[in-house]
A and B are shown apart, each in its own frame.
Chain A
């Protein structure tokens, strides 16, 4: 119950809706029990005793009870839905807000699949419980207790006889849900294995075909399908073992009722009407009892779901505004690293004692092996993470003393793995500045050498991209991401391996355009290719979290160190050395 208390904030505003719905459950249940009672009166008093003058009123009440029951039922389900929809909206809202405020480090370790399962599956389980689960449990309790009271009021001995199988039925249904659940999880796993096999062989179809491996792929899927079928049948067998028995237990009650009740009626100890009422009442109890396992299961699941949601809702925010943080207006772009060290986990340092002074407007090239700390270094500028030791200063102020909003608004970044949202190309470019004019957007696209390919798509800037939109190549995505960063009018621009998938000529064109950007902007460029960084004002070579070499291209070449050896691998045999260079191709775009 702690879970429900902790989540109180999300449903308290709607408590009256929820409570009214529950109150109507009581009425609905009570009204459902009216009909069997009326039938017994009709049989005993009207048919057997011949008091036909009572018939119109009784028949009217049969209908009247149904109408009332229908009306209450409507109110109950409708209000239940309203309650569920409202609470789930609040909950989603809270989750979304929390997620947006969580730091990069959270998303580094959180798996999208797991988070999505919580945000969709768990939220839905919770909604179902609020909308029907609670009402279901209440209905079970009411139906069974009111039904028993009514039966006992008619004849207590007959009541005892007819409910003799109920405990078995209840135990069986609980046991059933206990067993079927793991089987269902198994089935889902088999389903997901099957989907994975299909997905992989379709995405990798070119590899499959070029090795002529179609038969093996077909065999693999057959195997997965057979597993799926086997699991499904395993579940079916459980179902077939339990379900008919549960049905039979209910039926046995009817048999016993007929035998014992019939004997009683023959000897006149009970009326025929009572017997008939029992035939109807017994089903009203059997139904809910058979649902008991489901209800309990539903309850435990919603508890677990609620717990998982709470976990997300209470995840601490690591990077947040300090109390005295002030905005930094019109950043100059002077970036200083002062003995900065950083570790993602407590154990090993990704950056160690890095010091760096980047004057406004400078271009810094960063080069180094995978894992040498290049991306980490630039992530500290926009405070995507907080330094473990030392300080990062912008325009002389510690980034932790600047409000996150004003800091990040003036930084444009292109991440290593380009992410585009499912929307138009235009919206993607204008992501950071939706108020940008078409002319500005086009200019940014031209700068990133993206305008031409955009115009070749069917709807130009209105073409949908992302998950379900037009598939773009890696290089095209990168160019859109560059346009997005440029349009943000940043004072610091960070390109994290942002031109890895574009060819050299295009990269060259983009770099030229960046150089010509009107406003002053400090640039950090992470790259693998020497050609990407060689014109930088400062080149940093990182190795195992330390700056091992820094300076301009020529100076680093002369050092004959790491930079030189990278250069040699990439340009070991410059063919132009042996021949006279012809004028460069004027339009390198394809």
Chain B
């Protein structure tokens, strides 16, 4: 967060204009024009408990894991055998021991060739199977992690979503789980194998010749340093480049979306300066990074060359002394070359683990969050609701010590319409949220037909209460599917009947594909008022006994306004309804109006009763009409 540095000293208002510009000049710095906070933490220190917990997800698939391990072992063994077979073949040509006749040599060669072919065949078969098995294992584990995480999130209560942006939850379920893929697909199995491979190579080398083996191992420490220490530095350096690239992308995305604003206010040049700055920063970081990072591979080449040089030189002198055979020199060079891969991969594994730590920490943080609204032990299924609702000395606070509702009492008879009126923050929405148990009361209780809402099963409670929210959320899919969200088993005819009842049928018919028109969260040619009609239809389809309605404050198209009002009347008919109301027509017709102020009910009564009193209600109503009077 770059911005924090300049955050504090802009409060004082300077008297003179020049001074003003001087005083706040750091904020004028063009590089501060837009701020793109960098991505989340990508690495965490190693934590073995967390790793164990993560590996726990592999438990159900341990048979797959064992199969993968066995297949990998088989392949590795076959792979390790091949240089040895070549060594044996070359040994036949060693002038010091050339005692066999040509015929013998030929048959010997055929045997070796056959064995070599057999090894390659084993490798072929095992890797064919191994690729499938390891991927299956990885995908199953990831699937489970994702599914568990998602199901858990679905059951978390509203307070969890209040505190976080949808984006940050998204990132965990998608990106953080993805970043574990490599670890589960190859990481775990492969690293076990690599250890096996390293010991295998070392074993073979030492068994061939201890002295030459020691000589060949001389470069191993350099290899280890290069492939762990330097590789980490290199990766971190590249991450800096990616960060800059991500910043450019964020800006581009925003520049496109905000292009109208930019052009309308003629800010193209200023934006260009900012973009140039980002672009140059990227270019320079990229060049600086590759200057260092591109050293890694050449250094590996040189170290490899040094190793080979040592093996040839020392190998030749050992050969001269008759300690080793011809093929051994070749075999050492070949095996030494194979040392690289496992060391590099193990170095990478360490990198992967650090990244997995960061991801899994975020995943577990969610998994460890408990829902605040939970089912009690002896819940009953809420029977068919009649619609009598009682608030019995209800209090609620989002944060302790700051009550949002205080000692609210109310009795509502089945079929009544209650309108809630009051300023933003007076507790209207909280009042209705408690009824559906989106939050639990902190004091008192709420009864529906005499049942405490906390004593009934959540699905039976919520499925009998319909909520129409202020911002109608449409899922991507057809209009039909969106309406059916209200009742999943509704037939097409029932859906259409609901739309007709609410007066939405006409405009749906006029859409290009009628009920089959694809809609999405944004745009798609449906006005705000029409969206609201859709959500009314959804509620009609659900046919709840209790209805909660949060009327939109946003102005609705003049042409749909009438329809919405008619639909509303239809919707409220015969249901116990709570309406957070803005339209005077709704308020007027309510059986009871609750005027809320600072979490308390300050006035209660019908429109006419309340208009006769001097108080908040009368003030609110007249204030609205003053604009028109």
Known: A210-B469, A214-B155, A582-B614. A198 touches B174 (CB 8 A): yes
Q: Mark A467-481, 1 if CB is under 8 A from B, else 0.
A: 111010011000000
Say yes or no for A561: interface residue by CB 8 A criterion: no
In the bound complex, residues from chain B placing their C-beta under 8 Å from that of A339 are none
From 4 to 53 in chain A, residues with beta carbon under 8 angstroms from any chain B beta carbon are: 35, 39, 42-43, 46-48, 50, 52
In the complex the two chains form, is B625's CB within 8 Å of A427's CB?
Answer: no
Q: Quick one: which of B439-466 are within 8 Å of A by CB?
A: 458-459, 462-463, 465-466
From known contacts A199-B170, A438-B10, infer whether A211 and B462 are also in contact, taking CB-CB under 8 Å.
yes
B313 near A59: Cβ-Cβ < 8 Å: yes
Kindly state the separation between the CA atoms of A569 and B561 in the bound complex, as whole angstroms: 7
Stretch of B12-20, B352-360, B413-421 on the interface side: B12-20
Q: Are A229 and B3 in contact (CB under 8 A)?
A: no
The 0/1 profile, CB within 8 Å of A marked 1, for residues 309-353 of chain B is 100110011011000001001100100000000000000000000
Complex Cα gap A505–B627 (Å): 9
* A248 at the binding interface (Cβ < 8 Å): yes
CB-defined contacts of B588 to chain A, threshold 8 Å: 573, 575
Q: Which residues of A contact B488 (CB under 8 A)?
A: 216
19 A-B pairs (CB sep. < 8 Å): A52-B316, A62-B312, A71-B298, A82-B290, A89-B283, A110-B256, A115-B256, A116-B253, A200-B521, A225-B146, A252-B120, A255-B113, A255-B116, A258-B113, A438-B14, A467-B254, A528-B556, A584-B622, A585-B623
On whether the beta carbons of B297 and A210 are closer than 8 Å, the reply is no
User: Which residue of B is nearest A59, CB measured?
Assistant: B313
Stretch at the interface among A159-167, A231-239, A354-362: A231-239
Q: Across the interface, do B21 and A437 meet the contact criterion of CB distance under 8 Å? A: yes
Pick the contact of A48 from B95, B147, B313, B317 — CB < 8 Å? B95
Q: Would you call B476 an interface residue if the criterion is a C-beta within 8 Å of the partner chain's C-beta atoms?
A: yes
Instruction: Mark the stretch among A96-104, A285-293, A340-348 that contacts chain B.
Output: A96-104
Q: Does B280 interact with chain A (Cβ within 8 Å)?
A: yes
| A472-526 interface (Cβ within 8 A of B) | 474-475, 484, 488, 497, 500-505, 508
Given contacts A229-B143, A255-B116, A460-B11, contact A211 B626 (CB under 8 A): no
A116 and B249 within 8 A (CB):
yes
Q: Is A328 part of the contact surface with B, judged by Cβ < 8 Å?
A: no
Complex CA distance for A60 and B245, rounded to whole angstroms = 44
Cβ-closest chain B residue relative to A409: B266
Q: Shortest beta-carbon distance, B135 to chain A, in Å? A: 4
Asked whether A199 lies within 8 Å of B166 as measured between CB atoms, the reply is yes
Q: A262-B89, A576-B629, A582-B619 are in contact. Are A89 and B282 (CB under 8 A)?
A: yes
* Docked-complex contact B527 and A47, CB < 8 angstroms: no
Known contacts A92-B279, A247-B124, A369-B559; A384 and B623 CB within 8 A of each other: no
Nearest CB to that of A433 among chain B residues? Answer: B265
CA distance A19 to B75 in the complex (A): 43
Q: Point out the residues of chain B lying under 8 angstroms from A315, CB to CB.
A: none
Shortest distance between the CB of B576 and any CB in chain A (Å): 16
> In the bound complex, do residue B294 and residue A78 qualify as a contact, i.e. CB atoms below 8 Å apart?
yes
Minimum CB–CB distance from B327 to chain A (whole Å) comes to 9
Contact of A218 among B154, B248, B287, B320 (CB under 8 A): B154
Residue A297 interfacial (CB < 8 Å) = no
A120 touching B295, Cβ below 8 Å: no
**Quick one: which of A43, A58, A243, A431 contacts B127, CB cutoff 8 A?**
A243
Whether A206 lies near B135 (C-beta < 8 A) is: no
Task: Identify the closest chain B residue to A86 (Cβ).
Answer: B283
Interface: B240 (CB within 8 A): no
Chain A residue nearest in CB terms to B105: A266
Interface status of B102 (Cβ within 8 A of chain A): yes
The 8 A CB mask of B138-170 against A (1 = contact, 0 = none) is 011001001100110111001001000111011
**Which residues from chain B contact A196 at a C-beta distance below 8 Å?**
476
A427 to B326 CA separation, bound complex (whole angstroms): 75
B207 touches A (CB below 8 Å): no
C-alpha spacing A115/B249, complex, angstroms: 11
Task: Determine the distance from Cα of A532 to Cα of B624 in the docked complex, in whole angstroms.
Answer: 12
B222 at the interface (CB under 8 A from A): no
Q: Using Cβ atoms and an 8 Å threshold, which residues of chain A touch B294?
A: 74, 77-78, 81
Question: Is B187 in contact with chain A by the CB < 8 A criterion?
Answer: no
Chain B residue with Cβ nearest A192: B174
Q: Quick one: which of A99, A100, A201, A419 has the most chain B CB within 10 A? A: A100
Do A240 and B128 have beta carbons less than 8 Å apart?
Answer: yes
CA distance A240 to B124 in the complex (A): 10
Which candidate, B29-37, B42-50, B198-206, B223-231, is the interface stretch facing chain A? B29-37
Q: A116-B253, A211-B462 are in contact. Are A415 and B308 (CB under 8 A)?
A: no
- CB-CB under 8 A from B511, the residues of chain A are none
- Among the stretches B267-275, B384-392, B395-403, B567-575, the one at the interface with A is B267-275
- Taken together as a complex, chains A and B put the C-alpha atoms of A440 and B22 apart, in Å, by 15
Complex contacts, A316 vs chain B, CB 8 Å? none
Known pairs A233-B135, A251-B124, A505-B623; list 10 more (Cβ under 8 Å). A42-B316, A48-B95, A62-B309, A276-B90, A370-B557, A437-B17, A464-B3, A468-B167, A566-B558, A590-B425
- Name the interface residues of A283-313: CB closer than 8 Å to any CB of B: none
Docked pose: A582 CA to B623 CA in angstroms = 9
A293 to B463, CA, bound (A): 56
CB < 8 Å A-B pair total: 478
Interface of B is mostly: helix
Q: B491 interface residue, CB < 8 Å from A?
A: no
Residues from chain A with Cβ under 8 Å of B424 in the complex: 503, 590
- Which positions 462-485 of chain B face chain A at CB distance < 8 Å? 462-463, 465-467, 469, 473, 475-476, 485
Task: Give Cα A232–Cα B82 distance, bound, in whole angstroms.
Answer: 32
Question: Contact: A468 with B313, CB < 8 Å?
Answer: no
Measured CB to CB, the closest approach of chain A to B193, in angstroms, equals 17
Q: Are B131 and A236 in contact (CB under 8 A)?
A: yes
Residues of A within 8 Å of B565, CB to CB, are 569
**Which parts of A91-118 form the interface with B (CB within 8 Å)?**
92-93, 96-97, 99-102, 104, 107, 110, 112, 115-116
On whether the beta carbons of A209 and B469 are closer than 8 Å, the reply is no
Q: Is the CB of A422 within 8 A of B250?
A: yes
Given contacts A62-B305, A120-B249, A262-B89, contact A229 B33 (CB under 8 A): no
Distance in Å: Cβ of A415 to nearest Cβ of chain B: 6
In contact, A236 and B309 (Cβ under 8 angstroms): no
Cα A58 to Cα B316 in complex, Å, equals 11
**Bound Cα distance A459, B261 (Å):** 25
User: B377 in the interface, Cβ–Cβ < 8 Å?
Assistant: no
Selected from A69, A237, A437, A585, the residue in CB contact (under 8 A) with B619 is: A585
Q: How far is the CA of A213 from the CA of B553 in the complex (A)?
A: 27
In the complex the two chains form, what is the Cα distance from A279 to B438 in whole Å?
A: 71
Contact B256 A370 (CB under 8 A): no
Shortest CB-to-CB span from A341 to chain B, Å, is: 22
Q: Is the CB of B282 within 8 A of A46?
A: no
Interface: B304 (CB within 8 A): yes
* Bound: A248/B89 CA distance, A: 20
- Residues A462 and B151 in contact in the complex (CB < 8 Å), given A55-B316, A67-B302: no
Q: Which of B86, B248, B313 contacts A279 (CB 8 A)?
A: B86
A116-152 near B? 1/0 per residue, CB < 8 Å: 1001100010000000000000000000000000000
Q: Taking the complex as formed, is A207 at the interface, i.e. its CB lies under 8 A from any CB of chain B? A: yes
Contacts of A497 in B (CB 8 A): 555
Q: Is the Cβ of B3 less than 8 Å from the Cβ of A462?
A: yes
For residue B257, CB closer than 8 A to chain A, the reply is: yes
Residue B6 at the chain A interface, CB threshold 8 Å:
yes
Known: A100-B271, A206-B469, A206-B473. A112 touches B258 (CB 8 A): no
- Chain B residue numbers with a CB within 8 Å of A198 are 150, 170, 173-174
A1 within 8 A of B: no
Q: Which residues of B contact A579 (CB under 8 A)?
A: 611-612, 618
Among the listed A84, A232, A435, which residue makes an inter-chain contact with B21, where contact means beta carbons less than 8 Å apart? A435
Answer whether residue B518 sits at the interface, using C-beta atoms and an 8 A cutoff: no
Give Cα A464–Cα B2 distance, bound, in whole angstroms: 11
Report A-chain residues with C-beta under 8 Å of the C-beta of B623.
Answer: 504-505, 584-585, 588
Q: Could you tell me if B329 and A43 are in contact, using CB atoms closer than 8 angstroms?
A: yes
A104 cross-chain contacts in B, Cβ below 8 A: 260, 263
